[in-house]
């Protein structure tokens, strides 16, 4: 009768193993090769058969020589690096290799952002004031641009926004915040995709970027609204300053408020100096925005 060698726990760190099964008495019944989970099996020069893509599992009897043989045959380069690493480096070895796994390049269920925004902000400011259909967009284009805004079920007071590709969203806002157009932003992110071979960045276009900008505006206005609506805030001040960007002059309107004992200077809106933006219209616009932010 063969002797069933139990699993030796120090071997987990020594040989890059992960416990994958236990019995009813909590005794280890199987362990997984972490090299297989992180790396492809190395191809041997002149080999007639293709190396397996399956992950290696060990069962009783757990023998040291089996681990060494597998690592040397299937993962020689990584195994040599691992053997030379310190104890601390071995503990972090496979964590640092997560960046090369397929999960790093595809969107998973955990790569989701959700936001709740007041309906006044969405309908009165974002849809009608900042992106007026009679000025720049027809109604169909407006509906497409606002497609990410979904009414919260059983309520008319808020919208829910779900971002399913966080990488797209973050990069789109980063690039547009420094002055890139929607088309330029999509082109630059496509270059990122090609340079880093990151499949998460495939498929972004200028239309999706415009949707993300709508969302970014709504989220920031919602944060300002939350601050102004706080019972701990009893006053605020409006500050105006002018500047020029790409030969166009702007009036920069900011809100100065002091939440939690620290003064904040919050950007509210930048109004370009065109003929229609008279002082009366600017004042009416600011009043309309503040009314929507205070709607709750």
Sign of CA dihedral 125, 131, 132, 133: negative
Confidence of residue 202 (pLDDT cuts 50, 70, 90): confident
Q: At what angle do helices 76-84 and 64-74 cross, to 10 degrees?
A: 120
Question: What is the percentage of the chain residues whose pLDDT exceeds 70?
Answer: 80
Q: Using CA atoms, how far apart are residues 53 and 259, in angstroms rounded to an integer?
A: 56
Lowest-confidence segment of 47-56, 72-81, 168-177, 199-208 by average pLDDT? 47-56
Q: Rg (Cα) of the chain, in Å, rounded? A: 29
- On the question of pLDDT at 283 being above 80, the answer is no
Query: For the segment 97-106, what is each residue's pLDDT rounded down to a tens digit?
Result: 654 444 444 4
Give the Cβ contact number of residue 94 at 10 Å: 18
Q: What is the pLDDT of residue 219?
A: 92
Give the Cβ contact number of residue 38 at 10 Å: 18
More confident residue, 52 or 193: 193
- Mapped onto helix, strand or coil, the DSSP state of residue 227 is helix
Q: What is the pLDDT of residue 79?
A: 92
More confident residue, 123 or 293: 123
Q: Please state the domain extents for the chain.
A: 10-104, 113-293
Query: For the segment 169-198, what is each residue's pLDDT rounded down to a tens digit?
Result: 999 999 998 889 999 999 998 888 777 766
Quote the DSSP letter at residue 49: S
Q: What is the pLDDT of residue 138?
A: 60
- On the question of pLDDT at 2 being above 70, the answer is no
Average of per-residue pLDDT across 39-49: 53
Average of per-residue pLDDT across 158-167: 88
* pLDDT, averaged across the chain: 80
Lowest-confidence segment of 5-14, 90-99, 131-140, 224-233 by average pLDDT? 131-140
């Amino acid at each position: 009768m063969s002797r069933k060698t139990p699993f030796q726990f120090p071997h987990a760190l020594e040989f890059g193993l992960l416990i994958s099964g236990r019995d009813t008495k909590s005794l280890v019944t199987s362990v997984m090769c972490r090299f297989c989970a992180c790396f492809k099996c190395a191809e041997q020069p002149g080999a007639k058969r293709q190396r397996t893509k399956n992950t290696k599992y060990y069962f009783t009897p757990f023998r040291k020589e089996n681990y060494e043989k597998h690592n040397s045959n299937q993962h020689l380069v990584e195994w040599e690096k691992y053997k030379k690493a310190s104890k601390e480096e071995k503990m972090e070895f496979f964590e640092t290799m997560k960046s090369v796994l397929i999960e790093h390049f595809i969107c998973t269920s955990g790569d989701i952002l959700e936001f709740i925004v007041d309906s006044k902000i969405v309908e009165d400011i974002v849809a009608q004031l900042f992106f007026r259909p009679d000025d720049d967009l027809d109604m169909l284009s407006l509906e497409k641009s606002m497609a990410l805004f979904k009414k919260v079920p059983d309520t008319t007071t808020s919208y829910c926004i779900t971002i399913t590709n966080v990488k797209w969203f973050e990069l789109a806002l980063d690039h547009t915040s420094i002055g890139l157009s929607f088309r330029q932003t999509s082109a630059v992110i496509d270059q990122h995709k090609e340079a880093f071979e990151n499949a998460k960045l495939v498929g972004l276009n200028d239309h999706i970027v415009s949707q993300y900008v709508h969302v970014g505006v709504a989220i920031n206005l919602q944060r300002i609204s939350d601050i102004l609506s706080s019972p701990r805030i009893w006053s605020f001040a409006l500050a105006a300053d002018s500047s020029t960007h790409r030969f166009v002059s702007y009036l920069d309107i900011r809100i100065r408020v002091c939440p939690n004992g620290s003064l904040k200077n919050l950007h509210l809106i930048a109004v370009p100096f065109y003929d229609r933006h008279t002082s009366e219209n600017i004042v009416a616009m600011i009043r309309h925005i503040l009314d929507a932010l205070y709607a709750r």
